[in-house]
Structures are given as structure tokens and as C-alpha cells.
Structure 1
């Protein structure tokens, strides 16, 4: 069995995702795939038509949306997302998959986001995260946050046509940069309030149906466990059949 996974290659960290997919599917890795993964860069509509799943990388979301429109890809990408095929958005990709965010979006995931919610490039940081469902989930995953978006709210109505959202990872309060704690607990307009562990702004990874969102950059590490999770649980939708570990 072979599955073609495309990586939107208009701008951003698409090369890192393709490298990770190639590394992950190589026989020299510790995971022996029952399914052959075939990664391809997606720059045209014909590229997209070859894909059974798609990764939208980190980068600059407004630039990606503009380039997608200029290349005639914006509507085909929206159709791809609406079709129910597996899609993973990281950082800028998470912004584009959100149903609310104040810019030209693809939609498909019931969240509202804020661009650069973790601060500027200078406020980028790394921290250890615990993510449920990945292999060896008791071992922390190193989250790389670079001008990362914030998930402001979950907008799912919970109706019969709305797939449930599974929260996979939150950033611990103790891991927040001090500047973010000060900003969130003392807003310019309104009373100060203590940031709680269940605040949606602490969510950094979630899944809705066959769509995966991470606000950080897993592809900038050599840890392929989140990629493995995407392949097993979203692309193949059959964790038992996906891998021999």
C-alpha cells in the first residue's frame, strides 16, 4: 500500500516537512512502515490532485494565502480540506485551517486564532510539551514556538454535523515566558484575571476528525512522533495497521 502525502510548497518550512517525511518512511528508521509514504511538494493544482493527505507548513500565513490565490490553488485547497481528507497545519498552517482568524483562510477546523499571539520573532522560545496519543507519550516533546499563533477559542457547536475536538497538548503555565503571563493577566481593557490551566490559549495541539493542528514546529526537530501520529491516526485512520514498531 502506498500513500501520497503532499506538503504545500509555496512558502515557509516545506523542505523540513518533506525531509521529515522522507526520513520517517526510510527503512533505516526505527519505525518499519507497513504503508509506503510518498511525499511530494505541492505547488500546482495537478500536484494537489495526486495527494491523499496534505501538510500545510509554518511560515507567513498571509503570504501563503496570497501565493495560493495567485497560483490558482486557494479554492482547490479549500475543496481539499472540505472533502474530509487528512490535513495537518503547523503554525501558519494552523492559522489557515482555522474557521476564525480575521484573514483569508482555508477553514476546516473549529477554532479561532490570533496571529503571532506568542509575541515577536525575538520572543520565540522552546519548551517541553506532553502530548497524548503519540508513541512514548510520557517522554516530553520539544516544542519550537516561532511567532506562533494562539488558539483563542474552540468554536465547535457540538451539533450533529460537528466533529468532536480532541485536545492533544497544552503548554504548562510554568513553561510560559514571563512576558506572556504579564500580558494575559493584565489586559489593557478590562480587569486583571488569573490565567488558568484550562484557558484555551494554552492549547498548542488538537485534532478534529482527520485534521491535526499544532501551533509549534515539530518539523524543526528530529523527533518524528507527531508525524507518526498524523500518519497513523489521520492519514490511515487505523493505528493498529499503520506501523510495526
Structure 2
């Protein structure tokens, strides 16, 4: 029996229950890769079942989790991330974390795909949103800063991988001078992206999964979307079966 020829496309799912999912779709449609990118807006399990990977957008993390439970998607997403790449941006980063602080009364349901503790709205309220140039490891033209847009952004406050977890790779940090005064846990010295302070981390990768506390989808720069597909998703397709059409 002849092996099946490789697919000419990759199917990227975007959780489309609340938040900036349409903006992610626009960015993905700008990509020009060797494999065509097919976008699926995920609103139920049969949508998820078609996907090679998933993006969880920014928005309101508690609302997204509630709507995902009502749609019967929470447990399927937890199973999905065990074998397929997931990228969480802002609210999506909260959902991807294993532990959260600052949750609303009643708690916060999480997917738990990345071994970090994250604080909701760690940078403050909407009026304390800000923008900053970011140096990002692994991006195409990495010497060209990526424009980070932080809107009620969460803050990474701890890395806690177990010995059996994949290592955590830090992709980008911000200057500690941009942290709220209450968030600075080490003195700011000449190296103001001090690696002892996890709260300066704004982009990281663990195994298959990618996390950004900011909003790449709100820029005109699609390099993060390109990175996710090229570096996190495409390598998995050569070792996994294609999803059903």
C-alpha cells in the first residue's frame, strides 16, 4: 500500500467564542508559506477535530472559559493540547497556564498546558495598557523589534516545570522598568531584563505550546503567526496523522 502524499495545507483552529479571534484570522490569511494555511473558527468539538493546532485569542479569560464549558469544549481542548500545539495570547495565555492568581470570585478554569503561574490583569486596568518594542528570539528578522501591545495584560509570576515537563524556553522579556512598582521583585540594575524576575517574561514556549501575554494579532506584523505555524505546528505534521477533512 502506497503511503499517502503529504498534505499541501495546515489547518489552524482559532477558538471563536469571544475576544480577538477575527484579528488572528486576518493575520493567518497574510501568511505565505510552503503549506497553505486553512483557518477553522472553533465553536464546537467537531470544529476542533479538524485542526492541526489551536490559537486561543485575547479577550476575557473567565468568559472564554465559561463559554467553552457551555459549548462542551473544555475537556476536548485539554485532550487536544496533550498532542497538538496551542498558542494563547493574553487571555489565552491565562487559560494555558497551570496556575492563576487574581482570579474572579468563583475561580478560573484553566487548560493547564504550560507549567507557569500567571496573574490576571497583572499590568493593571485598561487605562494602564501600553506598547513596547520587543526583542524576540526565533522570529524571522529577529534584529527587527516586534511591536508589543499590552492591554490588561497578565503577568508571569512563576515558572514551575516538573522534571518530566518539557523545558521552558524564554522568547522575549520587557524591561523591568515597565513593570508596575508592585510587580518588581528584584532591584533594577544595569541588566533591567534581569532573568531572576519572571515578571519580565512576555513570550515563552514549552514543548508544543506558545504563550504571549500581549496581542500580536493587533499589529500589522505577522511574524509571530508565522513562527507558530513554522516552528510549533509544521514539525508535528511529519509525525502525526492528518486530521479528518
Structure-2-length-normalised TM-score: 0.86
User: 1:90-105 residue pairs with structure 2 within 5 A?
Assistant: 90-102=89-101, 103-105=108-110
Deviations 1:56-102 (A, max 9, x none): 000000000000011111111111112x2011000000000001115
Q: How far is 1:22 from its partner? A: 1.1
Structure 1 position 194 matched with structure 2 position 197: no
Aligned pair count reads: 218
SS at match of 2:235: coil
Q: 2 CA distance for matches of 1:209 and 1:116?
A: 25
Q: Of residues 166, 174, 178 in structure 1, which corresponds to 2:169?
A: 166
Q: 2 CA distance for matches of 1:183 and 1:72?
A: 38
User: 1:198-237 residue pairs with structure 2 within 5 A?
Assistant: 198=195, 199-237=197-235
Aligned to 1:66: 66
Unaligned runs of 5+ in 1: 25-31, 186-191, 239-245
Aligned to 2:104: none
User: 1:100-111 residue pairs with structure 2 within 5 A?
Assistant: 100-102=99-101, 103-111=108-116
Contact 2:183–2:199 (CA under 8 A) maintained in structure 1: no
Q: How far is 1:184 from its partner? A: 2.8
Q: How far is 1:173 from its partner? A: 2.7
Structure with more helix by fraction: 1
Structure 1 position 18 matched with structure 2 position 25: yes
Deviations 1:203-228 (A, max 9, x none): 00000111000000000001011111
Q: 2 CA distance for matches of 1:51 and 1:11?
A: 19
Q: How far is 1:193 from its partner? A: 5.2
Structure-1-length-normalised TM-score: 0.86
Q: How far is 1:237 from its partner? A: 2.2
SS at match of 2:172: strand
Structure 1 position 7 matched with structure 2 position 10: no
* Residues 147 and 167 (structure 1), Cα distance of their counterparts in 2 relative to 1, 3 Å cut: same
Q: How far is 1:7 from its partner? A: 0.2
Unaligned runs of 5+ in 2: 1-7, 102-107, 237-245
